[in-house]
Structure 1
Amino acid sequence: TPAIITQRTAGSGFIANPPAAFFTRRFLSKSPIVMSSATLHSIPPEHIPAGMTVHVNKPFLPTSVSGAGFAFCDLYPKRRIIILTSAFFEEIEKLGSKKVFVVANRSSVKFIEGDGRLIQTLESKDLLAAPVCTSIGMGGGEEGLLQACDAAYECGADCILTVGGGAVQDAGKLIRLWLTTKDNGDVAEASSAAASVEGIQAAQKQDPMPALHPQIAVPNSFAMAEATKVAGLTTKANTKSGAAHEDMIPNVLIYDPALSAGLPDWVRFGTALRGIEHAVGAVTHPKSNEDIRSRALTGLAILKENIEKLKETPECSVAQSNVYVGGFMAIRALNTGCYPALGHLVENQYSARFGVHQGSCSGILCARIMDSHYEKSEELQKRISAAMGDASTPAPRLVRDLAGSLPGVSHEHTQVNVTDDMLGEFTQWMFDNHLPRYNSLSPKGFSRVDDILGMMTKPLDKL
């Protein structure tokens, strides 16, 4: 099987069997076959949270000859390989779930609805708890999230399947957290009350935490929300909020590059750049250590090499899978004792304030933030340069140049209609409300609002 299957559970160890050459295939859509004999990377076991099962490059859904679910191998080009396995239904059987609540991006629905696809198959097996929920917007807007929480409760869901980007994956975690309150009278929210942000935040404080319903996370991009214990949402006031708990990490993760077919550039390359951001943050964080840095730098090297390949062949299954592996390693490094990083936090706040996709937030701010503390983190940033393949060039410039080369990713405030006046108001809000936290996350502290404004606005050609 053209799959990496990794599993880490208490006492179970690690299973990985990556092929030397990767067998690409077609999904149930009409995406073109993109063949490659490049090496497919695997996720080391120490990067996988205990209790999580991870599938990379295993088909999300069963395929058939009539559904064009076959592949051609570089080594045996005249041989047709039929893939009849399905990671999703294997895991549903293991979990024993009976009512699956499906949350998906609107752009992902085309992959799961229609004859012989997921939704019809769930219906035929009497496993579909409710119609597909598509209320989650970019950034996880409060209104759509709360609608999803109530819908999951009303249909009696016992498993959450999330198909799509980071906002959908985070929503799945928050839905599961909310559902724990419906059977717990000690939580402030009455069992009959509608979902609320306050109720979700109260739920994360339950001690002991009731068992969460399982989540099967099926990402279509590289945002990596599914690999963390944290879930964010954007409030009606355009501020970032959310919840966190170790038990919120999804039970199963399935990355099938077929679901990334046809992604717009701003999603594909923007979420890939977020992986660079996560790695940089893990390396330079004041609370980082050598183990965390080593993991992050390994992921960074994989990311940089394969993002360059994606620029040449955006639909390459091997490059996409390797970007996913590198991104997973980077975010897991960041989440091991040093989350969030300065850049991660500031860019999330910028995204919520101005409605900018987080990929472009990284394109605009990542290199600038690195430059702001370069004099204090220079030795660490030299290691970042080496991992990105150019030890002689300062890391902020390498990140700047990479971001500037990515299709669909903005790298200037003006490209996302953020004016000087808007930045002035935003940095004043940052200074007034978050200065101590920024100083705890940055290798170099801030003392004036102009320090923050200078970081946010430094010309890229001056890095």
Structure 2
Amino acid sequence: MNKTANWNYPTSVRFGVGRIKELPELCKSVGMLRPLLVTDRGLGSAPITTAALDSLKEAGLSAALFSDLKPNPVESNLDAGLAAYRAGKHDGVVAFGGGSGLDMGKLIAFMSGQARPVWDFEDIGDWWTRADPRGIAPVIAVPTTAGTGSEVGRAGILTDERSHTKRIIFHPQMMPRIVISDPALSVGMPAFITAGTGMDAFSHCLEAYCAPGFHPLADGIAVEGMRLVKGALVRAVKQPGDLDARADMLAAAAMGATAFQKGLGGMHALAHPIGALYDTHHGMTNATLMPYVLKFNREVIEERITRLAAYLQLTNPGFDSFLDLVLQLRSDTGVPHSLAELGVDDSKTMLIAQMAVVDPSAGGNPRTLTEANVAQLFGDAVHGRL
């Protein structure tokens, strides 16, 4: 099947192998003549980044690179990015890479014309209305991993080092103007990153599907996203040059981020404090937590999961066959069975429980999270008690 297309949902998406060549003209189309390409340290000197930067310069654009980002970006990274943006008199951002590069690119563009501190725009109530929309620069997003789906999101995650918490900064106009989803850019990802980001996409779809509330649009997107991951993730990990599998995973990542407008849940509520305190890979943390949170929620999601298992054409569709699928996906892609294997211990159990129950994702969990039951859930995941 020819997997090349232009979509206009939830923003303008140019999807297909080789679409990165359109980057210079797309920058010009949104009035961006001095773009700042923002990515993470690992990608800063990668051939795909160098090629993208060179293409911008060859097209006559005054482009520059900013890549001083931690895997879990912090406020000082944002400050450095804003300094680079202003020093170069840039007029827009190319957010390039995985979740950290995409989020930081959007945050730099958002904060480039704001007078208030970034924490004033946390995703609480109507805090986003505090922002001056005239101070938000345009963004073109170019994902190189298939996981976070941040390229089609209206928020960025930033770690507050003072409280060791991940905070969500939100504004409707943080949505990139244009997305270039080129499966060829994800071919060079290490297996660990392919697996972790791919399972993150799966977790977005799964938690959105299980979140309470009436949102059949999100549910439909979520179940098809999970079908794509089921068929493509193991191939993408074990056959990294399989562009068909890479395309399906890129689509599933965008679908997960679109679906989770409905909500997330316990996986993310725990993964956020764990990542902030232990600096673990976000997607791999979600993947490790997945079966434990599923089991925790079983009593209230079993009927829904049975419908999902039937859609996924599992043998004897039901909760158990779906849990077996999750465990098989984890095994086949090298996901650890316990958090201990990610370097997480139980010395901060109560702190993590306290942070998890107030995380913005907690409210979307289908079963109410309390400090006591989250502490038990976390302990099970640390020690591999399923």
| Same-fold call, TM cutoff 0.5 | yes
Which residue number corresponds to residue 205 of structure 1?
129
Cα distance in 1 for partners of 2:181, 2:121 equals 28
Check conservation: 1:160, 1:215, Cα contact below 8 A.
yes
Is the 1:104–1:162 contact (alpha carbons within 8 Å) kept by the matching residues of 2?
yes
Superposition CA RMSD, Å: 2.6
Q: How does 1:139-150 map to 2 (within 5 A)?
A: 139-150=72-83
User: In 2, Cα distance between the equivalents of 1:395 and 1:280?
Assistant: 11
1:426 positional shift: 2.0
User: Which of 319, 326, 329 in structure 2 is aligned with 1:399?
Assistant: 326
**3-state SS of 2:5 partner:** strand
1:111 aligns with 2:47: yes
Matching residue of 1:453: 375
Segments of structure 2 that go 5 or more residues without pairing to the other structure are none
The aligned residue for residue 278 of structure 1 is 204
Name the aligned partner's letter for residue 419 of structure 1: D
Q: Is the contact made by 1:363 and 1:400 (CA closer than 8 Å) also made in structure 2?
A: no
Map of 1:163 onto structure 2: 96
Tell me the distance in 2 between the aligned counterparts of 1:3 and 1:441.
33
SS in 2 for 1:360: helix
**What is the CA–CA distance in structure 2 between the aligned matches of 1:133 and 1:105, rounded to whole Å?**
8
| Structure 1: segments with no counterpart, 5+ residues | 9-47, 62-85, 182-186, 190-195
Supply the distance in 2 between the matched residues of 1:329 and 1:232 (Cα, whole angstroms).
19
Task: Provide closer, same or farther for how the CA distance between residues 406 and 243 of structure 1 changes in structure 2, counting only shifts above 3 A.
Answer: same
d(CA) in 2 for partners of 1:436, 1:231: 13
Matches for 1:278-357 after TM superposition, within 5 Å: 278-335=204-261, 338-357=262-281
| Greater Cα shift, 52-61 or 138-147 | 52-61
Post-superposition Cα deviations, 1:33-62, rounded to whole Å, max 9, x if no partner, equal xxxxxxxxxxxxxxx12xx2112224244x
Q: CA deviation at 1:443?
A: 1.8
| Residues 436/243 of structure 1: CA separation in 2 closer, same or farther (3 Å cut) | closer
Of all paired residues, the percent bearing the same amino acid is: 21
How far residue 344 of structure 1 moved from its aligned partner, in angstroms, is 2.4
Q: 1:88 to 1:425 in 2, by over 3 A?
A: same
Asked whether the 8 Å contact 2:165–2:272 carries over to 1, the reply is no
Instruction: Report the Cα offset of residue 437 of structure 1.
Output: 7.1
The answer on whether the counterparts of 2:274 and 2:280 sit within 8 Å (CA) in structure 1 is yes
SS of the residue aligned with 1:363? helix
Could you say what secondary structure the match of 1:138 adopts? coil
How big is each residue's C-alpha offset from its partner over 1:65-95, in whole Å with a ceiling of 9 and x where there is no partner?
xxxxxxxxxxxxxxxxxxxxx2212312322
SS of equivalent to 2:303:
helix
Q: Aligned with 2:180: secondary structure? A: strand
Distance 1:443 1:200 in 2: 27
Quick check: 1:219–1:226 contact (8 Å CA) kept in 2? yes
Q: Does the Cα contact within 8 Å between 1:140 and 1:233 map onto a contact in 2? A: yes
CA shift for structure 1 position 206: 3.0
Residue 363 of structure 1, aligned match among 287, 292, 301: 287
Alpha carbons of structure 1 residues 256 and 199: separation in structure 2 relative to 1, 3 Å: same
TM-score by length of 2: 0.88
Structure 1 contact 54–252 (Cα < 8 Å) conserved? yes
Q: Could you tell me the TM-score, scaled by structure 1's length?
A: 0.74
Q: Is the 8 A contact 2:113 2:136 kept in 1?
A: yes
How many pairs does the alignment contain? Answer: 376
SS at match of 1:102: strand
Hey, which of these two has a bigger chunk of helix by percent?
2
**1:208 CA displacement:** 6.1
SS in 1 for 2:70: coil
**Could you tell me how far apart the structure 1 residues matched to 2:282 and 2:97 are?**
15
The AA in structure 2 aligned to 1:89 is P
